[in-house]
Amino acid sequence: MANLRDIKKRIASVNSTKQITRTMEMVATAKIRRATDRIVDAIPYAMAILEVLEAVAQKSVGTDSPLLQTHADLKRILVIAVVSDRGLAGGFNANVLRATDAFITKNKAKGIECDIIVCGKKGLSYFNYRKMPVVLSFRDQSADPKIAQAREIASYIIDAYISNKVDQVVIFYNHAKNVADQITLSEQVLPVDHYAFTEVVADEDDIVHLDESAKAASAYQRVLTEARESAAELITTEEISGDFDYEPSAQTVLESLVPSFVETRVFHALLDSAAGEQGARRKAMKAATDNANEMVTTLTRIYNRARQGAITTEITEIVGGAAALEEE
């Protein structure tokens, strides 16, 4: 049977680990609120620019904007992988990296080359280890993405697409379905296909929806509803569908709006991934804490059993010694 001192040390070690995982769980829980609030705050602008873009596109007949045109030959794809800078988040990073790797491998088998933009240190390490080309990388921003990061990514991919260096841009990231679950998504960023973004915005309820047992569920839903109503008041279909004069032309206005639309899509993915990261880490740390509690219970039971056995052995030895003395 294991030594009592070793079991006691193991119990102390597990308790120490449990304190760390419990603290990380609490920190992630606190960060989820801020991450989801940022998504809610971004909804009015995302809906507004989408409404304006659709309205202007209707007035711009026969548009030849390069960001809306599909390249005839698909020879090179630019892949954006959005992961986290830190681990301890379950399969959060592995799911995106595995999906990205499979996508690149599949296209290379067809003779299509792929360049990679990585957001997050975990992704950078993954692709560098496999000697896969990384043309642009970002680190230490996954938990708190900035608009400047999205603007830099959007500027790079727009220039690459217009100059025909790449023929398609695809982004992979984790969509925060709710506070505990994430779904790995891939979306085409260029050429612009605004219908895909419409679906993402329409599913925004899933992003900020919490479990029914969570106390903040109704509060989040109320904030989301208010954000949608505010956006609807700012830009309505009736207002946009009226007659407007575009200066210098609807085509020029559309060409200036499309880059902002691309930037918004990228920023939306970064915010969504940040919320998913905290949810995944909270879930992983809660599971680790629960496992630590079970392990402490099991080790305590083993310790008590071993201690009881040692005491029984000592009593038996004492009784045997006393009996031997009596016989003498």
- Domain 21-285 adopts which CATH fold? Pyruvate Kinase; Chain: A, domain 1 (3.40.1380)
Neighbours of 229 (CB within 10 A): 11
**CA angle at residue 254 from 248 to 258, to 5 degrees?**
140
What does each C-alpha distance from 290 to 21, 23, 152, 182 come to in angstroms? 10, 13, 42, 21
Residues comprising the chain, all counted: 328
Task: Name the residue ranges covered by the structural domains of the chain.
Answer: 21-285
pLDDT tens for the chain, residues 1 to 328: 468 888 888 889 998 888 898 888 888 888 888 888 887 777 777 777 777 777 676 666 556 677 777 888 889 999 999 999 888 888 888 999 999 999 999 999 999 999 999 999 999 999 989 888 889 989 888 888 888 999 999 999 999 998 889 999 999 999 887 777 788 888 888 887 644 444 334 344 433 333 333 333 334 344 444 444 554 454 444 444 456 666 666 667 777 778 888 888 899 889 888 888 888 888 889 889 989 999 999 998 888 888 888 788 778 878 777 777 777 6
CA distance 56 to 287: 50
Contact 210, 217 (CB under 8 A): yes
Tokens read off for 56: 């202007």
What is the value of pTM for the model shown?
0.73
